[in-house]
Amino acid sequence: MAAYDLHIHSGYSSDGELPVAAIVGLCAARGLDAFSLTDHNSVRGVGEAARLARERGIGFVPGIEIDRKIITMHDIKKVDRKSVV
């Protein structure tokens, strides 16, 4: 059975801690077949992760986790009022 982790944050995310190289090392040590780096609003670590994964023979899926605000009709009405005034 293949092992994957498709949701990993690095130090490029506000809630990540490890540098990309450490993450790839852990993925290799844990025997993952593939992983994805999914930092918040950033792909700064993707190039390094892809290179290191390739060197170690691990599959890599470039990723990103985009933060967004949920917009409600109430928010739209507020914007409309501001643009009219």
4 forms beta bridges with: 34
Nearer Cβ to Zn ion, position 68 or 81? 68
Residues 18-77 binding Zn ion (CB under 5 A) are 65
- Residue for token pair 């700064």: 44
CB of residue 38 to Zn ion, shortest distance in Å: 6
Smallest CA-to-CA distance from 52 within 70, 63, 39, 37 is with: 37
Asked whether position 5 contacts Zn ion by CB under 5 A, the answer is no
Angle subtended at Cα 70 by Cα 64 and Cα 74, rounded to the nearest 5 degrees = 165
CB 3 within 8 A of CB 31: yes
Closest CB to Zn ion: residue number: 65
Nearer Cβ to Zn ion, position 64 or 79? 64
Nearer Cβ to Zn ion, position 5 or 65? 65
- Binding residues (CB under 5 A) for Zn ion: these are 65
